[in-house]
Each structure stands twice: as structure tokens, then as C-alpha cells.
Structure 1
Amino acid sequence: MGVFKKLSWYFQEEKKRYGLGILFLLLVAIVNLIPPKVIGTLVDSMNQKGGIQTGQLMSLLGLLVFAGVGQYVFRFGWRNAIWGGAAKLEKTLRTRLFNHFMKMDATFYQRHRTGDLMAHATNDLNAIQNVAGAGILTLFDSLITGTTTIIAMIFFVDWRLTLFAILPMPLLAVMARRLGMRLHAAFARSQAAFSRLNDKTQESVSGIKVIKTFGQEKEDTADFDQIVDHTIEINKKVNFLDALFDPTTSLIMGITYVITIAYGGYLVTSNAITIGQLVSFVSYVSSLVWPMFAIGRLFNILERGNASYDRVAELLNEHSAIIEQPDAIAAPAHGDIRFKINKFAYPDDDHATLTHVHFTLPEGHTLGIVGRVGAGKSTIFKLLLREFDDYDGVIEFGGQNIKAYTLEALLDAIGYVPQDNFLFSTTVADNIRFSSFEKTQPQVEDAARESAVHNDILDFAEGYGTLVGERGVSLSGGQKQRLAIARAVITTPELLIMDDALSAVDSKTEAEILDNLRQERANKTTIIAAQRLSSVMHADEILVLKDGSVIERGSHDELLANNGWYAEMWAKQELEQKIGGETVG
């Protein structure tokens, strides 16, 4: 019953709704007492010498009609109240969980895999919803039906027969308690196994191109089958424990019927009760079958819901390390950027990713950042975007520490083009205006022209209305990159960050995009990270990173004159272009 206590906050909010539902359950239970009593009266009347009179028959039939109509009305009432409450709980938790996902930081998503989070948002929430729906129904319906039926058996038939008939029922409570404790642990393992299976499915579907490219279909299928088999084995144990409820309940009800027939027959022969009362009593015992079976069903629902609630609550109790100050600046950030990081290491990593990376970027200037893969370029951007706040140093934007701004004020001032150009499964136009849906079609097209993708879009079957497919599956790498650039520049951000965002386009298109950006962003700040040095050659300053530290800095000409890593890489890339044509990084 612990899950009811955990959900007490919701039941308190919806006490009127659930109170009404329970009232309707009570009315249904009372109406259900009428048919057995009517049947018993009919039997006694027919057993008399004069038989049953027409008027009496019509009255009894009228009671049966009333009972049928009453059951229809009252059942509609409790279904509307209780199932409506369960649906509202699901909506509340689903919204709360999704909003929580939106607020969490990068570290949270490093700890939790996508498939596992999806399992929490689907399977676990469904199990919790069942507690507020089927769980409440089963608990109160079984209690009300069982209680009213036993009261009817005492007052309409005989208290002694009732006492003997319910003697075996405490055995059911003992069995339910013992099995319930084992079910809780089993359901927790079952939900965890489902998360692993869900995660594997999501990962395989997302990476299907890579799997096929490397011919790993059989191996991946075998891995999937192994996870499925493990999940089935765990669920077999759950089903075994769950299956013990019904046979045990049937056994106990069988004993109850034996007692009823044996002792009830004795009471009839001794004229303590009539044959009609015995018939009514047997009907009432039949009404007790549902409450008895409901106990098993209830423990199933509650234990599954309890395990799921614990899993969801554990997620909701996690807090983002990125915290806004109470008096944070809400005005959009603008001005010079001062980046002074003495040391930064990712969480749970003792190795420093950045060491003594210092630079000042005046407003309206362009900074280029180059270096080998893993040099720390993307890490600089993650700190500027406040994906991580735990570092030794300070980052200022317009003379203010970036931690002094609200996240909205900071991020609204930044346009970011990541290495992984994620596109949504909607139209080309909506992907471009994703950061600002009030942008008009002409503004969307201007952004597309600036990123040199307008002509490509016009060649699509539906133009700007073309659906790009999940993650932009229908587009080439270069088209996805240019759409991502268009999405970033459409808001004319104070700071534009391009993280190796031109690697999939040819040199001619790269030059066109960079020329457009220089013209359109003459008074705006830009940071470009690239493997291809031609992308940064016109920057006001270029930083060369190696192992998280700055090893060279200066303009393009100054770095060539230094004859260091930059000059060596420039000569190498020029030679590659002459010998092998275009390189795409």
C-alpha cells in the first residue's frame, strides 16, 4: 500500500473526484444486493402452497429492472470519475517528467541513456497510472463489495452461516502479503530489464546505417535476442509469482462453497433458514469471488506501480548543476567576450580537458579556433553555452559573468551550429525557423540564402514545405550543415558559434557562406572552429589548441610566419587540395 502514500499528494488534490467515484462504487454494491435477495424470495414463494402471486412477481421483476438501470448509471459515474482521475495523473506526471528533462544539464544525459529515459516516460508512467485507476477501483470495489455482501449475508440469511463461510479468508491475506513482498522486487527487476531492451531497440534503430555499412546485422540481432531472452526470463519469474494468486484464491473460495453447502444444508433441514435464503446466500458467496480475486490483482497493480514510481521519483529528484541566480540578468547578453579558464575537467574525469585557455573577443570580431580532434574546441563552446559550470576561471559576456544571466538571456544571444547537425522530422522551413517560429517566409529564405542552401531547397519536391525525415535522413551531409547554419543565423544572434560546421561542404560553397556571414554579421561576434584552415583564415584572431592548451595564437599571416603547427597544416591542406581536389574534413 506504500504507493498510495507516495501518491497521496495527487489524491489530496483530486479528493472530490475520487470521493464521487467511491460513492458510485458504494451505490453499485448496494444495488447488486437486490438480485440475490429477489431470487431467494422467488424460490421461497414458489415453494409455498399457493405459489407466487402476479402482483408479487411484478414487484420483484420491477426491483430487478431497477437494479439493472441503477448499475448502468452508477457504473458510468465511477468510470468517469476514477478513470478520468487516472488519465489526469498520467498527464500531470508526463508533463512534469518532460519538463524535468528539458531543465536537466549535460551530465544528466551522460548518466542516463535515451532508451532508459523513454522507458521511464512510457512503461513506468503507465504502471503508475494503473494505480490511480485500476488500483483505486480494485481496492475500494473489493472492500465495498465484500463488506456490503457480508452484511447482507448476516442480516438477510444467518450470521452463523456467514461466520463459518468466511473463516478461510484470512488465509488469503497471509498469502497476499508473502507474495506481495516478492512481487515488488521482481517487478523492479522487470522494469529495469524493459529499460535495457528499450534502450537497445532505440540504439539499433538510430544506428541502422552504421550497422548495415559494417555488415553487423546478424551480430546486432544476436545481441538483441540475448537481451530479449534475458527480459523474458525475468518476466517469467514475475508471471510465476503473479500466477500463484488466482489458484490460491480459487482454492479458498472452493473451501468456502463446501462450508456453505454443508452447513447451509444443515440449517435448512433444521428449519433455521429457508431454501430461498440458502439460494440467496450462495449468490452472495458468488459475489465474494470478485473481491477475493481482486486481492491478487491489486497486489499486482500496486507492486508494479510502486516499483515504477520509485524509478520515476529517482529521476525527478535529480537536480541540474546549472542553477540560475535569484537576481539573474534577464536582458539579452551582448558585448565583448572574456574567456579565462585555468582548468576544466568533465565530471568523473580526473584529466583536465582545458588548461590555461585565455582570450578576449571584442564585439563584432571573429575568432578562429583550430586543432586536432580532441584538442578542446567543442569544450570551449560547451562552457560558453553553460552546459557545465564547474571550472576554475571566469567567462564574461559584456562585462558580466555568464552565470549572472538567466539561461534564456544568455542562450537567446547565441546562435550555435554543432558538429552533429540534428534536424527534426518536420518541414525544411520549420527546421530553419525552429528557434523563432514567428519568423516569416521571406526571413526564412534570407537565412537560407545566407547559408547557401536556398537553391538546393528550391530543387526539393515541395520546396520549403519538404519533410526532411527523422534526423534529416533525406538530406545530404552538406545540406544538413547548411540548414543548421540557417537555423542559427535567422535570429541574428549577438554571438554565432560554428563548431566545425563547414566540414561537409566544398571549398566554393564554404567561401560563399563565409563571405555572406562577413557581410551580414559585420557588427556581430563570431567564433569558428574548424579542421579546414580555410574556414578561419579571415578571422581577426586564431587560436591553435593542443591537448586543451593554446600553443599558438595570432592572425592568419602571423601564424604562417611563425612556421609552427598552423603553417605546417596549412601547407599540407593546400597540397592535398592541389593533388586530390576538394577535401571535406
Structure 2
Amino acid sequence: MRLFAQLSWFFLREWRRYLSAVSLLILVSILQLIPPRLVGVIVDGVTESHFSTGQILKWVGLMALIAVMVYLLRYFWRVLLFGASYRLAVELRESYYRQLCRQNPTFYLRHRTGDLMARATNDVDRVVFAAGEGVLTLVDSLVMGCAVLIVMSTQISWQLTLLALLPMPVMAVVIKRYGDMLHQRFKRAQAAFSTLNDRTQESMTSIRMIKAFGLEDRQSALFADEARDTGERNLQVARIDARFDPTIYIAIGMANLLAVAGGSWMVVQGTLTLGQLTSFTMYLGLMIWPMLALAWMFNIVERGSAAYSRIRALLAEAPAIADGDQPLPAGRGTLQMDVKAFHYPETAEPTLENIAFTLAPGRMLGLCGPTGSGKSSILALIQRHFDPDSGEIRFHDMALPTLRIDDWRARLAVVNQGPFLFSDTVAANIALGRPGATQQQIEEAARLACVHDDILRLANGYETEVGERGVMLSGGQKQRIAIARALLLDAEILILDDALSAVDGRTEHQILHNLKTWGKERTLIVSAHRLSALTAASEILVLQRGQVAQRGRHDRLVEQPGWYRDMYRYQQLEAALDEAPVDEEATDA
């Protein structure tokens, strides 16, 4: 029952809907009490031979009218009640999605995708079911049960009612115990479902690699193990479910046995008529539904409570990056970085140390260095995925933690090495951050990214569906579409995180030339392994083990001994060898 207390904020806000639904439900319950009483009157009238055919038809017609009214009222209260619960589903999922958007990458290290999806779908459905069907069964069982008890006690015999209810306290204790067991088992079953969901998601997204390595049998075996474990956990829940109905039917059977035995003795003694005993047994039959509903309510509410505890645990996680409250000034600003030290969570060694630079509007910063040297970490700090342990980053001479995150990130356009494309058209993917863009603006961004001609060669041009994650496009095409998407945002700062790794040298040169023309007043930050992408940079930082080993412009760095000169010469030699003509005779030999 604690779920209803936890959802009280929603019930209070939607009180009009719930009050109207409950009122109609009470009216239905009252109307359902009339037919058993009328049946008793008809039985006594027939047995005593003082009812004519017309009178009997009149009472039967009244019962038919009540049945029609009950049908219509049930329709309206269901619309009100379940309409409110569906609103809860929308609100929970919106809150859940906002929470996911606020979290930083460390959150996604702790929570797997399949688990997050399970909470957003299966768990929310259980909570909504409890907020709709649970409220219905609670009110219906209490109203109908109490009303039937009152009528049985006051209109027929309180002694017989008390006798018939003797099995009920025992049943209530047993059902409460079942509910506690169900809560724990269902929580474990939902956790197992999350694991299975995650296994499914991983298998679907990596199906190409699985087939390439011939791992189908191994992955199928792992999936079968997860499915078997999930099935066993749900079977444990089913074993508890299966105990509810037999317990209730035994209690109702005992109640009927006591009622018939006691009622028969009272009829023989003359303290009860046959019609009254008939009505009493019919009223007792009406008690079957409240008892079943009560057990069902315990079942679905405990399931909903277990699911809601999983949702609340995630919603309660505060973002690791606190939002600031200062608005970002209008106009272009200077980006200043002075980071003394930065550690990733749960790592002992510093990832970055003593990183400092100033980047004025219209300037280009290049980042390079060996794999793992800290390039992507610098970009993550600039985007405020993390905050430095010591030092600060400033924009417009304001520390980033004091600024509103949404305002700051609106000034950024980011293209990562592995771009993500949605299962939509090429045009829709380019216009993702600017849905109102015209076709002309979309095509202009595509031309700047040197992907316009490639798009026109697709089956339906800009209206071609790219498939899930852009499966029908090459790596270079996906990168250039992602660059076009970033350019269309017209953001002040453009960040390219090794975003040209999958394009050839000539296309890379043309894109960088276009960016230089496009971004005369915009700030450009480029991280690259291929150093030819950094030749036009205003300043280049050469990183090694999280520190700046060299810095300066390209023409200066190629003259200095060190990693940059060695790598640049190696890449130049590699490019020359790739472009050298092949000696066909030597090849034949």
C-alpha cells in the first residue's frame, strides 16, 4: 500500500478525475446491491403466491434497467480513471528522459542501456497499471465489500453475517504475507529482465561484429542463459501469484458453508425466511469479487511498488555536474582554459595536468598526440561532461560552472569520430539540431561538408532513408553528414573530435578550406591523428601523458625535434607511398 502514499502527489493533482471515477464506482456498487434484494422479494412473493405475473415482470424489468445503468456508468468511470493513469505514464517517462539527459558519462558507466530501457518501459507500465487498476480494485473491493456487509447485517441477520466472516481474518493475514514475498521476488524478476534486455540490445547493435567473428552460437548460448534465468525469476513470482486465488476461494467456500449451515438452521427455527436466505447467499456471492479484487490489488500494487522503487532510485540520482544560474552574455567570447589537474572518477592517476590556452573568436586550436594522451579529455571538459579537479575554464571571463549548462552547450557544435545517425532521411539527420531549416540551408551545409554530391548519388537524394545508425552509408559519408549537421547549427564554437579520420586527404583539405571560409568569426577546435588537418591552426597543442609536450603553429613545430615532427614526416612518407604508381612488371614477377 506504500505505493499509493508515494504517488499521493499525482492523486492530489488529478483529484477531480479520481473523485469523479470513485463517485461513479460507488454508485455502481450501490446499484449492484439492489438485484439480490429484488430476487429475495420475488422468491418470497412466488412461494407465498401473492405475486401476479405483471408484478414479477415489473421487478424483472427494474433489474434490467439497473443492469443498463451499471453498464453505462462503468464505461464513464473507466474513461476517467484510466485516462488519469495514462497521464501518469507520460509524466513519469518525461521526467525519466529529462533525468537521462542531465546525466554525465559516469552515470552511463554505472547503468547499462538495457536496464535503462526496461525501467522506462516495463517498470513504468507496472506503476501505471497500479495507479489505474490498483485504485479501481481497492475502491471497488472496499465499497462493494462494506456495502454488502452492511446490507447483510442490517437487512437480513448480523449473527449469520458474523458467522460467515469467520474465515476472513485468517485469509487477510495470509494474503499480506504473500504480498511481502511478491514484492521482493518481483523486484528480482525485473532486475533479471533488465539484464536480458541489455543482452538483447547489445546483440542487436553488434550483430555485424558477431557474424563477422562467427560468434552466433556463443551469443545465442549467453542469451539462452539470460532468458533461462529471467524465466526462473518470473516463475518464482508466478508461484506466489498462484497462491492468491486458492486461498481466497477456500475462504469464500468456508464462508458459504458456514452461511448455508447456519442459515438453514435459522430457517428451520423460523428466524429467517427462505427468501432472506436466498438473498444472503447471493450477497455472499457478491463478496467473492471484493475478496478476489483485494488479493489482485495486493498483487498489482506490490508489483507497482517494486517497479516504482527502481524508477525512483534512478530519478533520485543527482547529476554529477551541477547547473549554474548565470545567463551567458550575448556575442562572441574568448575561451580560456587553465586546468591544473583532472582525474576521471575512480582513477588514481591524473588524466590531465597543467593544460592552459586562450582561444579568441575566429581562431583555430589544434590538439594532437599519441593515443590516450588526453585530447578527448580536454574536449570533454570544454563540453562540461566533467569539471576539473583543480583549475577552471572560462568563457566571456565567466567560469563555466557558474553558467547555465543549456546556454553554454547551445554555443557548441560537436562532431565525434563515431557519429550517430538516426533511422531517418539524410535531410532530417542534417537538420536534427535545426528542424526548421530550409532545403537550401540543408544543401548549403552539405556542400561545406563536401557530402552534397554523395547524397545526390543516393537512391532518393536527401530523402533517402539511411537505416539504423546510418547502416547504408560509409564511414566517411556518416562523418561528413555529421559535420553538415554541426555546421547547420551555426554555433559559435565548432569542435571536431577526430571527425575527419574516415575521409581521404583531398576531401579533408577541401573541408578544412571550407571551414576556414565559413568560420571567419567562429572558434574552431580540431583534435586529429592526421596532422595535415592541423596545418591551418592558430595554435597546436601536442599532448603526451596528459601534459603539453609542445605547442605552437605548424610551421614552427615541424622544425622542432619531437613527436610532432617525427609523426608529420612519417605521415608524409606514408601518403607519398600510397600515391606512388605501382610497377606492374615488378608485381607480375
Q: What is the TM-score when the length of structure 1 is the normalising length?
A: 0.96
Instruction: Report the CA distance shift for 1:390/1:314 in structure 2 as closer, same or farther (over 3 A).
Output: farther
Deviates more, 1:221-230 or 1:94-103: 94-103
Which has the larger displacement, 452-461 or 428-437?
Answer: 428-437
Distance 1:412 1:189 in 2: 41
Q: Which runs of 5+ in 1 are unaligned?
A: none
Alignment match, 2:472: 474
2:559 aligned partner: 561
Paired letter, 2:3: V
Identity %: 43
2:453 aligns with: 455
Residue 292 of structure 1: aligned partner: 291
- For 2:233 and 2:579, the matched residues in 1 are separated by 57
The residue that corresponds to 2:117 in the other structure is 118
Q: Which amino acid aligns with 1:237?
A: Q
Check the 8 A contact 1:371/1:544 in 2, yes or no. Answer: yes
The corresponding residue for 1:301 is 300
Match of 2:440 in 1: 442
Q: CA deviation at 1:342?
A: 1.0
How many Å separate the matches in 1 of 2:536 and 2:495? 15
Equivalent residue letter for 2:30: I
- Within the alignment, does 1:145 sit opposite 2:144 as a pair? yes
Cα shift at 1:581: 4.7
SS in 1 for 2:440: helix
Q: Quote the residue 2:156 is aligned against.
A: 157
Matches within 5 A, 1:78-477: 78-326=77-325, 328-332=326-330, 334-477=332-475
* Matched position secondary structure for 2:353: strand
Q: Quick one: distance in 1 between partners of 2:328 and 2:357?
A: 25
Q: Structure 2 counterpart of 1:512, which letter?
A: Q
Q: Secondary structure at the match of 2:337?
A: strand
Check conservation: 1:333, 1:405, Cα contact below 8 A: no
CA deviation digits over 1:525-578, x for unaligned, max 9?
A: 211111111111222221111111111112222112112111111122122223
Secondary structure of the equivalent of 1:561? coil
Asked if structure 2 preserves the Cα contact closer than 8 Å seen for 1:447 and 1:486, the reply is: yes
Aligned length: 580
8 Å contact from structure 1 (residues 176, 295) kept in 2: no
Q: Deviation per CA, 1:200-257: give whole Å up to 9, x if none.
A: 1111111111211211111111111111111111111111112111111111111111
Partner of 2:450, secondary structure, is coil
Inter-partner Cα distance in structure 2 for 1:472 and 1:246: 51
Deviation at 1:51, TM superposition (A): 5.2
Q: Is the 8 A contact 2:339 2:354 kept in 1?
A: yes
CA RMSD of aligned residues (A): 1.6
Give distance in 2, aligned partners of 1:129 and 1:491: 39
- The corresponding residue for 1:37 is 37
Q: Counterparts in 2 of 1:497-508, with a 5 A limit? A: 497-508=495-506
In the TM superposition, what is the alpha-carbon distance from 1:330 to its structure 2 partner? Answer: 3.1
Which of 510, 513, 527 aligns to 2:511? It is 513
Does structure 1 conserve the Cα–Cα contact (< 8 Å) formed by 2:329 and 2:396? no
Give the deviation of 1:397 after TM superposition.
Answer: 2.2
- Post-superposition CA distance 1:131-154 (Å, at most 9, x none): 211110111101111111112222
Amino acid at match of 1:492: D
Q: Could you tell me which runs of 5 or more consecutive residues in structure 2 were left unpaired when the two chains were aligned.
A: 581-589
Deviations 1:418-468 (A, max 9, x none): 122011122211211211222221111111000000001111122111222
Q: Is the 8 A contact 2:339 2:388 kept in 1?
A: no
Q: Answer whether contact 2:417 2:500 (CA < 8 A) is retained.
A: no
Q: TM-score, structure 2 length as denominator?
A: 0.95
Q: Say which SS state the counterpart of residue 482 (structure 2) adopts.
A: helix
Amino acid at match of 1:102: C
Letter in 2 for 1:355: E
Q: Does the CA contact (< 8 Å) of 1:428 and 1:465 recur in 2?
A: yes
User: CA distance change for structure 1 residues 369 and 390 in 2, over 3 Å: closer, same or farther?
Assistant: closer
- 1:83 & 1:215 partners in 2: Cα distance? 48
Counterpart of 1:345 in structure 2: which amino acid?
H
What is the Cα deviation at residue 385 of structure 1?
0.7
Amino acid in structure 1 at the alignment position of 2:283: Y
Give the aligned residue type for 1:267.
M
